[in-house]
Amino acid sequence: MLAEVGRISDSLKYCQAVYKSLKIGRSPEEDTLKQLLSSLEERIRTHQQSGYAANLAPGKIVVKLLNFFDSTVHRIAQLF
């Protein structure tokens, strides 16, 4: 939602906060979530540094993020 309203920097901070809040354990699910958060953060940074944040409609970013999270949750749910 932060990216949707154009608050790209805040969305990066949110990703970092979630990453830091994860337990230090080494479960496969946690490792997967950490990898996905890192990937999302990298994608947001790429858009921010390339100027896409100003040129890309916020709705398009949100759709991409929601699709990313939806597919991720689906993959994690299959592990259980």
Q: Per residue, what are the HEC states of 45-76?
A: HHHHHCCHHHHCCHHHHHHHHHHHHHHHHHHH
Q: What is the pLDDT of residue 53?
A: 46
Q: Let me know if residue 22 belongs to a domain.
A: yes
Q: What is the pLDDT of residue 5?
A: 75
Q: Which domain holds residue 44?
A: 8-79
Q: Let me know if residue 2 belongs to a domain.
A: no
Please say if the pLDDT value at position 73 is more than 80: no
Q: Let me know if residue 28 belongs to a domain.
A: yes
Q: What is the pLDDT of residue 51?
A: 61
Q: Which H helix or E strand runs over 27?
A: none
Please say if the pLDDT value at position 11 is more than 80: yes
pTM of the model: 0.54
Looking at the 3D structure of the chain, how many domains does it have? Answer: 1
Please say if the pLDDT value at position 19 is more than 60: yes
The residue that leads in pLDDT, 64 or 12, is: 12
Mean pLDDT, range 53-58, rounded to an integer: 51
Distance CA 80, CA 66 (A): 22
